[in-house]
Amino acid sequence: MATFSRPDSALLSGAVIDVNELVALRAAHGSRLILLDASVPPVVPGYESLNSASADASWQIIPGARRFDYDTRVCDPDASLPHMMPTPERFEREARSLGINNDSIIVTYDDVGLYASPRAWWMFCAMGHRNVAVLDGGLRAWIAAGQDTESVGADWRAGKTANAESYAAGDYTARPMPAAFVDSTEVANALTANNARVLDARSTARFNAEAPEPRPGVRGGHMPGAISFPFPRVLNGGTLKPRAELVDEFATVASATDRLVTSCGSGLTACVLTLGAAVAGYDSLSVYDGSWADWGSDLSLPVES
C-alpha cells in the first residue's frame, strides 16, 4: 500500500501551487527549482492544447522549462500499453539527464490547464521525491497572469534542450514507493476489499459502455465494483477545486481512511483524481498503471456495463 508523502511545507505549500507561488519559488530558489512541461495531446473532448499539433510549429513554454516526455522517454519502452511507468533505474537515468537532483524542487505543468501534469507529479511521488507539485491551471494560468513564454521547436519537444545540448547531469536517486502504481491483480483485490475504493476517471458514458473505447480491441464497460468518478468532478475547468469542495466530492464515495485506487483509459487522468484526493487529505493512494487499456483488453478479467 502506497502512502502519499506530503511536500516539505517550508518549500512547497502543497501538491498544487498557483502562478504567484511559482514566481516566488523561481526568485527564491533559482536553479534548484526544476520546471517540467509534461504536455501531451489531449484525447478527451473539451480539453484542448494551447500548442499546435503540427510537427513544424513552435511550442510555447514557460521560460526555462524542461521537457518531461512520458510517452517516449520516461516510460517502459517494452510495454504494449502507452506511457507505462519505467523501472526505477530508467526513471533515475532520465531524471538525471534532465539535470534533476535529490534536493530539486520540481513543478510540473501542461498546456491544457490540469490534464497531463498530474501524471508527471505522481511519477515523482512514486519514486519517493517529496518536493514536487503541480502548477494549477498550467500554461493557460501562466499566460492569463501576464507572464512571458518562450518558443521552442521539434528538438525540444522530442526531449532535447532548445539548443540540442544536454543539461548538466543531476544526482537524482529513485526511492520507489510500494504500490504507488498497481497492476490488475492488485486492482482486483481492491475491488473486493472493505477499506478500498476503485475510482474510474473515464466519462460516465464509457463507464456504462454507452460510448466506444478509443483503443482497438478494448471492451466497453467497467470493472465490477468500480465507482464512476469522471475526472472533471475535481476540476473547475483547468484548475483544481478548492480543498473543501474536494473533501465533499470524495466523501460521497469513500471514507477519509479508505485506500483509493484510481483508473482511467491509460493511467493519465487517473492521476488527476489522485492529485485531488491528495489535496483532500487522503494518504493511501494508488494508480492502476495500465488502467482500462489493460483491463478491457484482457478477456480473462470480468467486465460490467
Active site residues: 264
Distance CA 234, CA 106 (A): 23
- Write a three-state SS string for 55-104: CCCCEEECCCCEECCCCCCCCCCCCCCCCCCCCHHHHHHHHHHCCCCCCC
Cα torsion angle, 8, 14, 16, 18, sign: negative
- Alpha-carbon span 43 to 268, nearest angstrom: 11
DSSP assignment of 224-282? TT-EE--GGGGEETTEEPPHHHHHHHHHTT--TT-EEEEE-SSSSTHHHHHHHHHHHT-
Strand-strand pairing, 239-240 and 235-236 = antiparallel
Pull the grid cell for residue 154. Answer: 521539434
Record the cell numbers describing residue 109, joined without a space: 505543468
Measured at the alpha carbon of residue 83, what is the angle toward residues 12 and 15, in degrees to the nearest 5? 15
Report the distance separating Cα 143 and Cα 91, nearest Å.
Answer: 30
C-alpha cell at 113: 490547464
Whether residue 277 contacts residue 247, with contact meaning beta carbons closer than 8 Å, is answered with no
